[in-house]
Amino acid sequence: MKKRLLTPLFAVTALAVHAQSVTVTGRVLGAQGEALPGATVLERGTTNGTATGANGDFSLSVAPTATITVQAIGFAAQQIPLNGRTRLDVRLVTSATDLGDVVVTGSRVTEGRSNVLTTAPVDVISAREIKAFAQTDVSQVLTYAAPSFQSSRQSISDGTDFVDPASLRGLGPDQVLVLVNGKRRHNSALVNINGTIGRGSVGTDLNVIPTASIKRIEVLRDGAAALYGSDAIAGVINIQLKDDSTGVSSSALYGQTTQRDGKTEQVDFNVGIGLNKRGFLDLSGQFLNRAYTDRGFTDQAPLIYLGNNGGNYPASATTEQSRRDLKAQDDALVAQNGFDRNDLRVGQSATRNFGGFLNGGYRLGGGYELYVSGGASYRTGRGSGFNRLPNQATQSDLNLFPNGFLPFINTTIYDQSAIVGVRNNFAGFAVDLSNTFGRNELAYNVDNSVNASLPQDANLVGVNPTSFYAGRLAFLQNTTNLGFSRRFIEVGPLANLNVAFGGEFRYDNFLIGKGEYASYINGGRTVNGGPAASGSQVFPGYQPQDEVNKGRTNVAGYLDLESDITDKLLIHAAGRAERYSDFGGNVSGQVGLRYSIVDAVALRGSLGNGFRAPSLQQRYFTNTSTQFVSGVANQVLTVNNDNPIVRNSYAAGGTGQQGFGVEPLRQEKSTNYGVGVTGKAGGFTLTADAYLIDIKDRIVLSAQFTRTNPTVNAILGTLPVSRVQFFANAVNTRTKGVDVVLNERLPLGDKSRLVLTAAANFNQTVVTNFNSSSATVNNDQTAGTSNLQNTLFDRAQRTRLESGNPRSKIALSAAYTFGIFGIEGRSVRFGEIKTADADPARAFLDQTFSAKWITDLTLSAQVAKQVGLIIGVNNLFNVYPDQLIVNPRNNATNFSVDPNLSYNSGLDNSNRGRFLYSANQFGFNGAYYFARVNITL
């Protein structure tokens, strides 16, 4: 009986729902009659909408009384009431003022401006561009799409293998600010202490954000500390999450290199949900599985089993024949034991990432709008260290690993973020109250390794550990913002004036958690009277004395003014005052203007000062590790800036803990200058912007101070360490450059169009001053590389800072569509980079790596309205960087006993001939083929 009553009820309900909506179909064309795929069709006042297909067609279910909004980049939007129609064929006209993407980054005006109408340069990378090629994470997308941005995956560099260091305009990872939906995003927990780009810096992990959740990325190429606060010296990256999607879209990608490694599997999705015409909810997720790559070469150590530490000939092998005989015996053991001389894994790490994001808004009534966004990701990674040969007794346990071992660092990165806010209008002001929370944690585990200092015996096999929990780093940030903005019309002589002001309160916290006991303990084992290496090999665990749990607060206020003084002149001014609880305050200001010479051409420029607060990681990171230098074990102490070793003064023969007399870390301060020109005509746009950035008191991580310097020996005293390094405000730098971007959209008929882009960045950074505040460092008269000034900032660090990233990058791209088919090509020229040895006497190891072009190509087909296919190749011509110089004496078949000709692996940087590429231009994976399917429902 109930079923009989429910059936007509369902039928009536279905008829009512059907009566409340109609299906509208149609086609969107450009000014020349060309189809416009990707144009947006929305039911005005709702989040109900769709995008046009390859032929510009669409279908959308709407209310019978709806007004339809149709818009596409480069064309004027149209509002079309249905008035009973169910078919709309729309022809958009080229807009005289909307030739660029509308951006919101770099200003607090109530309405966005085209990126050719702003006072500062802004790049816009759309969701379509993100999906056009095979880059699967945000940092790699930006590296190829925005010439001023640079990031490359590192190899055998501990945590930096898993968190890509990135730079904007040639500056450091911590000198660019990242926003999500205009709100500050938290940094990574990792401080980069290895010899890679960004050494000593703390960046933001862009790769935890699923690309499926991104509507567009805006890259502001201008100092913006006066607008957004600390870190924005080089510029700002603002990731705008999707907020206008409807239905379900998903994609799946598979690819691998021509060497049959680096296999990548990615699946992502996005779901847009309308909330009763009062709001929206956008859900996105991503799974990414990326395998390792290996571009290591054959180990050139002469002896694997019978040699001294590092594979050298023993002192007893004094003739060429004795060395040949010993080598033959060792080769027999290599064959017998199946030892592979390709014993090092050089390339990208393996990683697996699960991530999800949401973005939503809801009108509550009374003018209130609630918004929320955030996400979580869980990423695991696995990367190798340097292998241990069976003849390296101080680092091995031959009972556990008779053929040596290749240790692995396994990381687990947890990242969570949430933005919650409410907006309304009061007294004509738009008021925005929000709270932004973020946390990043990196946990280390080591496996296929040993603690060589523990007692060794065949009976301990299965007892001595081969895997270790080595500790964790965590960073937390919580930011509360209250902002007011209002656009005034006809204010005195001004046609309009946009006023924005507000305040911010931020709390930061940094934590180091210790590893398990076996990961750091010295078990007391000795080898030939000397100590064996303590702690887990490749990454000793954080010790109890390394543990940190430190926090700080920041209070800030800002004022932002912008006005179209005349029809031709736009002026923008901003100021910001901040005060940190741990080092004091700072005031920043900026002024920018844009002047239209004629309708199609304008000049723009900016002048401002900025700052970057020392991160908590730089202030408080500390650890002790065993590092081998020329086969000798060294206990290396990385000590935080507050430690007496750094802070106390030094007096010859003095008592108590002696120190280097270095001042507390203070903020880096910058002055930014910019001038540019913009132009537009038809579908063509041009921007060219020059910049100059002076930075005072840049924070660097010193090289390792050694006991060979008498002052260092006195400072370290009886501490069980042989080397020490620390952070200091050591140098001033000047960065100058120019960015050029040209775009052309060419309709070629009813079914085809061509989009051309050329973009370039040219930059140069030079160290203008060494400005140590320590008399102990500055007055040291020690000769050679152990001189304290040289160690604080040596020539290797200087070259990495000045020339470690490409000094130029040029990107050329073309995208052609014809009906359902498309072809897109892109070629990026990565400029030259340089490396240098820390010791001037070894300048023969300095090397310049020449510029290279990397070409990507994709073919696409919209095989059905809901299904699109893309196949393509990255690095089409299989280009690799120049190889590192290898000295002829670094050769396993060098049997000479002449000390000037004999085997010597220390005469080059190839690590016994195995590590032959630098990662800092574009990596060294070679050609990569992929296929992607996109589905929209």
Q: How confident is the model at residue 630 (pLDDT cuts 50, 70, 90)?
A: low
User: What is the pTM (predicted TM-score) of this model?
Assistant: 0.87
Burial level of 458, CB count in 10 A (0-12/13-18/19+)? exposed
Report the mean per-residue pLDDT for the chain.
88
Closest CA to 622 of 642, 607, 606, 594: 642
- Quote the pLDDT of residue 543: 92
Q: How confident is the model at residue 529 (pLDDT cuts 50, 70, 90)?
A: confident
- Provide the residue type at 540 as one letter: P
Report how far residue 588's alpha carbon sits from residue 546's, in angstroms, rounded to the nearest whole number: 35
CA distances from 517 to 40, 289, 471, 541 (A): 59, 32, 10, 8
The mean pLDDT of 823-839, rounded to a whole number, is 93
Question: pLDDT by residue (tens digit) across 386-436?
Answer: 999 999 888 899 999 999 999 999 999 999 999 999 999 998 899 999 999
Closest CA to 207 of 147, 278, 270, 142: 142
Closest CA to 198 of 237, 170, 228: 170
Position 103 pLDDT exceeds 80: no
Whether 304 contacts 339, CB under 8 Å: yes
Q: What is the DSSP code (8-state) at residue 118?
A: S
- Quote the pLDDT of residue 96: 36
Show Cβ contacts of residue 711 under 8 Å, excluding neighbours closer than 6 positions. 650, 776, 780, 782, 788
The mean pLDDT of 585-606, rounded to a whole number, is 92
Question: pLDDT by residue (tens digit) across 661-715?
Answer: 999 999 999 999 999 999 988 778 889 999 999 999 999 999 889 999 999 999 9
Spacing of C-alpha 723 from chain mean position: 31
Show Cβ contacts of residue 412 under 8 Å, excluding neighbours closer than 6 positions. 378, 379, 380, 381, 442, 443, 445
Q: Give the pair of three-digit tokens for residue 161.
A: 């293998």
- Provide the residue type at 13 as one letter: T
Low-confidence winner among 215-224, 584-593, 622-631, 898-907 (lowest mean pLDDT): 622-631
Show Cβ contacts of residue 740 under 8 Å, excluding neighbours closer than 6 positions. 686, 687, 688, 689, 758, 759, 760
- 821 versus 681: which is more confidently predicted? 821
Q: How confident is the model at residue 19 (pLDDT cuts 50, 70, 90)?
A: very low
Report how far residue 187's alpha carbon sits from residue 192's, in angstroms, rounded to the nearest whole number: 12
First to last CA, the chain: 38
Whether 806 contacts 833, CB under 8 Å: yes
Report how far residue 279's alpha carbon sits from residue 284's, in angstroms, rounded to the nearest whole number: 17
- Quote the pLDDT of residue 487: 87
Show Cβ contacts of residue 679 under 8 Å, excluding neighbours closer than 6 positions. 116, 600, 601, 602, 685, 686, 687
Q: Give the pair of three-digit tokens for residue 680.
A: 């537009």
Report how far residue 431's alpha carbon sits from residue 470's, in angstroms, rounded to the nearest whole number: 47
Question: pLDDT by residue (tens digit) across 362-393?
Answer: 989 888 999 999 999 999 999 999 999 999 88
Position 16 pLDDT exceeds 70: no
User: Which residues face 442 on adjacent strands?
Assistant: 413, 473
Helices (H), 737-842: 775-778, 788-792, 795-803
Report how far residue 129's alpha carbon sits from residue 131's, in angstroms, rounded to the nearest whole number: 5
- Quote the pLDDT of residue 74: 57
Question: pLDDT by residue (tens digit) across 280-293?
Answer: 899 999 999 999 99
The mean pLDDT of 150-162, rounded to a whole number, is 84
- Provide the residue type at 408 as one letter: F
Report how far residue 474's alpha carbon sits from residue 443's, in angstroms, rounded to the nearest whole number: 8
Q: Which strands form 723-725's sheet, in the order they lie side by side?
A: 623-629, 632-638, 723-725, 705-706
Closest CA to 447 of 521, 537, 347: 537
Position 161 pLDDT exceeds 50: yes
CA distances from 533 to 343, 358, 469 (A): 21, 47, 17
User: Which residues face 859 on adjacent strands?
Assistant: 823, 871
Question: pLDDT by residue (tens digit) across 289-329?
Answer: 999 999 999 999 999 999 987 899 999 999 999 999 999 99
Helices and strands, counts by H and E, the chain: 11, 46
Residue 842: how many other CB atoms lie within 10 Å = 17
Report how far residue 170's alpha carbon sits from residue 736's, in angstroms, rounded to the nearest whole number: 9
CA distances from 671 to 225, 226, 295, 691, 736 (A): 10, 11, 42, 11, 12
Q: Which strands form 22-29's sheet, in the order they lie side by side?
A: 57-62, 22-29, 87-91
CA distances from 272 to 210, 390, 448, 937 (A): 15, 57, 45, 11
The mean pLDDT of 92-119, rounded to a whole number, is 56
Burial level of 650, CB count in 10 A (0-12/13-18/19+)? buried
- Quote the pLDDT of residue 46: 67
Whether 645 contacts 229, CB under 8 Å: no
Position 834 pLDDT exceeds 60: yes
Position 102 pLDDT exceeds 60: no
- Quote the pLDDT of residue 511: 97
